[in-house]
Amino acid sequence: MTDAQGINLIVKATDFAARKHHAQRRKNMEQTPYINHPIGVAQILSSEGGITDPIVLAAAYLHDTVEDTDTAMEDIEKEFGTEVRNVVAEVTDDKTLTKAERKAMQVKKAPGKSKEAKLVKLADKLYNLRDLERATPVGWDDERKREYFLWSREVVAGCSGTNGALEAALDDIIKRNL
């Protein structure tokens, strides 16, 4: 893939995600626009993780579109190709499972994911944990927040050896909150 093709892929994924998530909000008091999340995940990968792979960055923008919008995995493949689709598929939870089952599957499947999917997962967790530090979702108490940090630590452990900078940042935030 040329640099121009890579940039085009990333910009196209950003636009697609923005259109798909346009009406969604985070569950904090400020009702932050949801699109800030995938943008933030891509930013973490790029600036903190040193990731320049357009496939990984495009997948970061798209990582919640199948789970949280009317997007099908086939739409991702048609628009962005098989490589992006595969990474998005690896980080997409099966919404037919209960929340507890989905969380357990994330822990169980983390070690077997591709490096690209692990990178997206690490940046996603880092963004979410930072968001929890900044603004706890409405209805969450300290125990639920602690449980999220504990669970995230398990998921992150399954991705160890992927990116030292992201893992160090995750270790710091997890230790600070447990």
- Of the chain, the percentage scoring pLDDT greater than 90 comes to 89
Surface-to-core class of residue 125, CB atoms within 10 Å of its CB (0-12 exposed, 13-18 middle, 19+ buried)? buried
Q: At what angle do helices 164-177 and 115-134 cross, to 10 degrees?
A: 30
pLDDT at 53: 98
Active site residue 70: no
CATH number of 3-176: 1.10.3210.10
Catalytic, out of 3, 15, 48, 67: 67
Buried b (16+ CB within 10 A) or exposed e, 132-170: beeebeeeeeeeebeebbeebbebbebbeebbeebbebb
pLDDT value for 26: 82
> Does the annotation count 64 as an active-site position?
no
Strand partners, 70: none
Asked if pLDDT for residue 97 goes beyond 90, the answer is yes
* 41 pLDDT more than 80: yes
pLDDT at 29 over 80: no
User: Mean pLDDT of all residues in the chain?
Assistant: 95
- Res. 90 pLDDT band, cuts 50 70 90: very high
Give mean pLDDT, residues 6-22: 96
Sign, CA dihedral 33-124-112-95, equals negative
Select which of 48, 68, 77, 93 is catalytic: 68
Query: Considering the entire predicted model, what is its pTM?
Result: 0.96
Non-local (6+) Cβ contacts of 94 within 8 A are: 102, 105
How large is the C-alpha radius of gyration of the chain?
15
At 6 the pLDDT is 95
**Predicted confidence band of residue 32 (pLDDT cuts 50, 70, 90):** confident
Question: 49-76: per-residue pLDDT in tens?
Answer: 999 999 999 999 999 999 999 999 999 9
